[in-house]
Structures are given as C-alpha cells and as structure tokens.
Amino acid sequence: MIRRFILFGITFLLTAGYCFAAGQKQEETGKMITVSDLAGRQVSVKVPVERIILQSSGSGGAFYTLFALDGKNVVKKIVGWDPGLKMYRHWIWQKFSQAVPELKTIPNIGNVYKGSFNVEKVITLRPDVVIVPPFAYSRGKDLFGKLEKAGIPVVVIDYHTETLKTHLATINLLGTLLGREKRAQELANFYKEQVSKVYDRLKTINKPEPGVYVECGNKGPSEYSNTYGNYMWGALIEKSGGRNIAKGKIEKWGPINPEYLLSANPDVIIITGSYWPKPFQSMKLGYYANIEESQKLLAAFTKRPGWNTLKAVKNGRVYSIHHGLSRDIWDFVPIQFMAKCFYPEVFKNLDPVKSFKEFHKKYLPVEYSGVWMISPESSTQK
C-alpha cells in the first residue's frame, strides 16, 4: 500500500511538472492580443491559437478559410465543432473527410441554432478560441457568455452580410488568430481580385437590372422552399448586378407566394443545389454530381404550374448553382456566375468554373470535381 502511494505521488508530481512546463512553454510562445471581431467587440485572445472550436462548419463559418490559411494540418487545431458540414453539406464532408481523415475524430459539441450546443463539453476541450458567425452568436449569446466567464474567448466572423469589407476583415481576423497574417493577405488579395472582375465591369453597364428569383432546391419542384430577402443569396443577387424580386417581400428567408412570383415575372431564375437525399427530386450539385442528372433535376422545376408563362423559362434563363457557395470565402464563384447569367454578353469571357478550380488548387486540400453550376453551356464545364 505504501509503495503504491509513493508511486502515485511520483506520477502526480511528474504530471504536474509536465503541465507546468507546458504552461510555461505556452506563455513563452504565445502572446495575448486584443482583436476587433465582426460583431464590433474587443476580444482578448492568446495567439497563435492552437485549439479551436467551430460553429456553422458548413454554413458560413471558418472551416474552409482555416484550410485555405493553414493547410491540412489545421485539422489538428480543430478540437470541437458542430455537425453541420456532415448533415447539410454531405458531399463536401465526404470529399474533405477522405482527404483529411482526422476530421472524423473531431468531437461534436452541438449546434447553437438547433439547441444542442454543449457548454460543458466545450469547456472540457480547453479551446483557445470559439469562432462563430453572427446569426449563431445572436442566437446563443447567453451560452457564449458562459464560455467567456469561464475564460474562453468567443470571436465573431461575418461572411453572411456578403460585403467585400466584412469578407476581407474576416479573412484577416482569422489570419491573425492563426499567426498566418501573410497568407491571409494573399488570400484576401485573391478574393478581392476575383470579385473585382465583376464589380469593376458592373460600373460600366447602363441598362435595367434583370429581375431575379433564387430558391433553395432542397425540397424539389413539388414544394416551394426558401428564397431570400436582403440576406445571403438575396444580397448576392444585388452584388452581381441583379434586382432581387423577393426584397421587401421576404425579410431574411422563407418561401415566396407563388402568385406573387408569377406576377413579378422574373427575367432570371436560379435554383440552388447541394446533396439532399430527400426528397428524391431535390436539386443535386457538388463534388459527386453529374451533369446529365443535374440538368434533368433542374428541368423539373420549370414544369411547376404557371412557370411556362415566366420570361425566365420561356427564354431559357433558368440556372443552378451550389447552395453552399454563398456566405463563405468562396462566394466569389456565385458572384461571377450570376453576373454572367444576368449579363451574358458583358461577361462572356468570365469563367467562374475556372476561377473555382484555381481556388481549389491554391487553397484547398481537395481536388475540384463534379458539377457546381449549370448554365446553357454547362455540358462543357466539367
């Protein structure tokens, strides 16, 4: 018994010594700074961060940007996240988890928006920072307040408002957290260059903006799903030179009144796609999509009652793009794509597929594949 007690004491002292040494090393290598997050808050955080918790992994969070800034090894720094990527962006999850198998072992800490966020579990994971988008932060202020009282910094990023200013600020903020400021500036310059291909040319266009209707294709043609007000896809329509027919009718998101849609008679219709297993006729796009199936699924939407009277349908201006491309680091792709849909002659030499392939090659741990957007010339865009 005495010998066991002595051994326990030695083990305890060694462990304590290791923890103290590790703590000393962290003090030596890290430094405490104050950053301004995208909610206008001043947050003190020790950088470079080594332990990160993510919210909204598949919907406007920091996930893709972290890989773009720090490469495959950034997975070792993600110590907890929500299940959003796996649940709502399954083909993206499948592609990334094949390339980075360690993603499968990251603990699930729940989702604020679904009411499953586990504060206690987050605290036990000892993160250096929790990174959240604005809608998650506003939804879970009380929960995040508990983390901050426990000494865990919470930093808000913002890809959701779809402005160049907030995108660049988010990229640079994440670069600061990772200690990858130079890479962040390179990424910010790349993003700015890509959107400027649209923004600069839009200034020279002197013609009426086309009326545009965007709908999430997750429910298939049998049921109207969400369209967007001055938010997400709605904001992107305007950034790309279109007139969002849902603005003023839908605050953020929700289904449009079919009678109003028919009376508004849009010039362009865009149905977004992803991989939603149910219903069977949901719009499918992404890493594992094939052009023939995707074109058939898109065509089914044009058969809705009354749609044969719409200008967009009669003129062959019904398009599709991946739903997960909005409100994120890679939304320069839909900005280019939609500008090309709205003003095909002006942007005839702009190639959003090529731009997306370049982004993959430079910044992502996976190779481009599948079908991410459909336009009249899509059969050649593989």
Distance (Å, whole) CA 144 – CA 156: 11
Q: Is residue 15 predicted with pLDDT exceeding 50?
A: no
pLDDT tens track for 100-159? 999 999 999 999 988 999 999 999 999 999 999 999 999 999 999 999 999 999 999 999
- Mean pLDDT of all residues in 321-343: 96
pLDDT of residue 22 exceeding 60: no
Helices (H), the chain: 2-29, 63-70, 84-88, 90-99, 119-124, 134-139, 141-149, 164-178, 181-202, 233-239, 258-264, 291-301, 311-314, 332-342, 352-363
Q: How confident is the model at residue 10 (pLDDT cuts 50, 70, 90)?
A: very low
147/381: higher pLDDT = 147
Residues 172 and 84 in one domain: yes
Residue 288 is assigned to a structural domain of this protein:
yes
Residue 352's pLDDT band (cuts 50, 70, 90): very high
72 and 114 inside one domain: yes
Q: Are 232 and 147 in the same domain?
A: no
pLDDT confidence of residue 12: 39
Q: Is the confidence at residue 288, as pLDDT, over 60?
A: yes
pLDDT of residue 27: 40
What distance in Å separates the CA atoms of residue 69 and residue 205, rounded to the nearest whole number?
35
Indicate if the pLDDT at residue 75 is higher than 70: yes
268-277 b/e with 16+ CB inside 10 Å = b? Answer: bbbbbbbbbe
pLDDT at 48 > cutoff 60: yes
pLDDT score for 29: 62
Taking the mean position of all CA atoms in its chain, how far away is CA 23?
A: 34
pLDDT of residue 161: 87
Domain co-membership, 255 together with 337: yes
> What's the pLDDT at 156?
98
In a domain, 108, yes or no: yes
pLDDT single digits (tens) 168-199 = 999 999 999 999 999 999 999 999 999 999 99
Say if residue 275 is in the same domain as residue 215. Answer: yes
Q: Residue 222: inside a domain, yes or no?
A: yes
Examine the fold and report which residue of 144, 179, 214 is the final residue of a domain before the chain moves on. 179
The pLDDT of 252-269, averaged and rounded, is 97
- Give the CATH number, domain containing residue 224: 3.40.50.1980
- Which pLDDT belongs to residue 186? 98
The verdict on residue 66 lying in a domain is: yes
pTM value is: 0.89
Range of the domain at 338: 204-380
360 shares a domain with 247: yes
Fill in the amino acid letter for 128: D
* pLDDT at site 92: 97
pLDDT category at 25 given cuts 50, 70, 90 is very low
* Count of structural domains, the chain: 2
Question: Are the CB atoms for 228 and 246 separated by under 8 Å?
Answer: yes
Q: Which of 369, 367, 375, 334 is nearest to 352 (CA)?
A: 334
What does the pLDDT read at residue 230?
Answer: 86
Residue of 15, 41, 44, 40 lying closest to 30 (CA atoms):
44
238 and 151 assigned to the same domain? no
Quote the percentage of the chain above a pLDDT of 70: 91
Quote the mean pLDDT of the chain.
91
Query: Considering only CA atoms, which of 39, 41, 40, 56 is closest in space to residue 138?
Result: 39
Task: Assess whether 131 and 260 both reside in one domain.
Answer: no
Question: Same domain for 141 and 270?
Answer: no
304 part of a folded domain: yes
pLDDT value at 377 more than 70: no
Residues 169 and 208 in one domain: no
148 with 208, same domain: the answer is no
Q: What is the predicted pLDDT for the residue at 287?
A: 98
The reply to whether 305 falls in a domain is: yes
**What average pLDDT does this structure show over 233-254?**
95
pLDDT-derived band at 18 (thresholds 50, 70, 90) equals: very low
Kindly tell me if the per-residue pLDDT of 6 is higher than 70.
Answer: no
241-245, 275-279, 376-380: which is most confident? 241-245
Q: Are 129 and 260 in the same domain?
A: no
9 is a domain residue: no
Domain-located, residue 7 = no
